[in-house]
């Protein structure tokens, strides 16, 4: 069931989106080599709660933290731990915050210190995948055009597109219909409608698209151990374009 948000619901989603964006900016200013991924989570918890919002990930399906913190070969859903972030790492931080009953969800991949040229390129192309996906996006566009755009750009650059995890609708729940894959055939899928709010979140691997699921129940890693990047925003579909709620 796809929910179309009213203007007053959209106003609340703008506020949650703004909090998520500010939290990620705060993380970006403070994340550094030598810190543990648990300390990153503490920054996230502190910032979100100081805004009068709730970190939706905390306790979601049993997830034990406010942020997913995924280093190098960890694609997504890294559980904050005593792992120390090192110079040259790329660290994806994915957070969801709820305020007044509505969620915002976004992720960034941060470059820590002296990062290799090939990892920098992966992070850059992953961000580009998102922006390719929103080019020309508006009401009436078929849903899988999003995945087509992401996949085309990623594969053109020699990268693997994660299939096992997808973007999603968002609103009162962190995950609503529809699923928003990062792969797909142009011109297929439901037609987007104004008032839909969706998360577009390319998860791009330097090597194979294949991933492994850890027996901790959460951590997703690349099957070949090569690095992965993640970039996500919450996007409102409008008649004549999109509004990015987390930028």
Residues that bind Co ion (CB under 5 A): 94, 105, 107, 199, 201, 232
Instruction: Supply the minimum distance, in Å, between the C-beta of residue 113 and ligand MF3.
Output: 26
Does 16 participate in binding ligand MF3 (rule CB under 6 A)? no
Q: Which residues pair with 110 in a beta bridge?
A: 91
Starting from the edge strand earliest in sequence, which strands make up the sheet with 176-180, in order? Answer: 176-180, 167-169, 197-200, 233-238, 241-244
Of 78, 226, 80, nearest to 165 (Cα)? 78
Residue closer to ligand MF3 by CB (options 63, 148) is 63
Does 68 participate in binding ligand MF3 (rule CB under 6 A)? yes
Instruction: Supply the minimum distance, in Å, between the C-beta of residue 87 and ligand MF3.
Output: 27
Binding track, positions 109-148, relative to ligand MF3; x by CB under 6 A: ----------------------------------------
Comparing every residue's Cβ against Co ion, the nearest one is 199
Within 222-241, which residues bind ligand MF3 (CB under 6 A)?
232
Residue closer to Co ion by CB (options 21, 187) is 21
Cα 228 from Cα 219, distance rounded (Å): 13
**Strand 54-55 to 160-161 pairing:** unpaired
Within 149-178, which residues bind ligand MF3 (CB under 6 A)?
168
- Interface with ligand MF3 (CB under 6 A), residue total 13
Instruction: Supply the minimum distance, in Å, between the C-beta of residue 179 and ligand MF3.
Output: 11
Q: Are 140 and 191 in contact (CB under 8 A)?
A: yes
Peptide bond into 178 cis (omega under 30): yes
Q: How far is CA 16 from CA 19, 32, 50, 113, 214, in A?
A: 5, 26, 13, 30, 31
Does 94 participate in binding ligand MF3 (rule CB under 6 A)? yes
Cα 180 from Cα 146, distance rounded (Å): 8
Binding track, positions 44-63, relative to ligand MF3; x by CB under 6 A: -------------x--xx-x
110-131 as b/e, with b when 16 or more CB fall inside 10 Å?
bbbeebeeebeebbebbebbbe
Residues that bind ligand MF3 in the complex, under the rule CB under 6 A: 57, 60-61, 63, 68, 77, 94, 96, 105, 168, 199, 201, 232
């Amino acid at each position: 069931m796809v929910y179309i948000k009213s203007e007053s619901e959209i106003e609340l989603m703008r506020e949650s989106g703004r909090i998520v964006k500010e939290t990620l900016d705060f993380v970006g200013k403070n994340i550094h080599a030598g810190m543990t991924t648990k300390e990153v989570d503490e920054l996230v918890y502190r910032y979100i709660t100081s805004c009068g919002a709730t970190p939706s990930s905390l306790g979601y399906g049993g997830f034990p933290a406010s942020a997913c913190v995924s280093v190098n070969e960890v694609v997504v859903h890294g559980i904050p731990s005593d792992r120390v972030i090192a110079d040259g790492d790329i660290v994806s931080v994915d957070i969801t915050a709820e305020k007044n009953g509505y969620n915002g969800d976004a992720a960034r991949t941060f470059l820590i210190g002296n990062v290799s040229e090939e990892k920098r390129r992966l992070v850059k192309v992953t961000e580009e995948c998102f922006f390719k996906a929103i080019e020309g996006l508006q009401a009436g566009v078929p849903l899988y055009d999003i995945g087509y755009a992401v996949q085309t750009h990623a594969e053109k650059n020699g990268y693997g597109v994660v299939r096992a995890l997808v973007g999603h609708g968002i609103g009162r729940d962190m995950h609503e219909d529809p699923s928003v894959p990062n792969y797909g055939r142009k011109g297929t899928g439901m037609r987007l409608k104004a008032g839909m709010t969706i998360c577009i979140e390319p998860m791009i691997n330097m090597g194979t698209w294949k991933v492994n699921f850890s027996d901790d129940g959460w951590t997703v890693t690349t099957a070949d151990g090569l690095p992965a990047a993640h970039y996500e925003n919450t996007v409102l579909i409008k008649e004549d374009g999109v509004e990015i709620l987390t930028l």
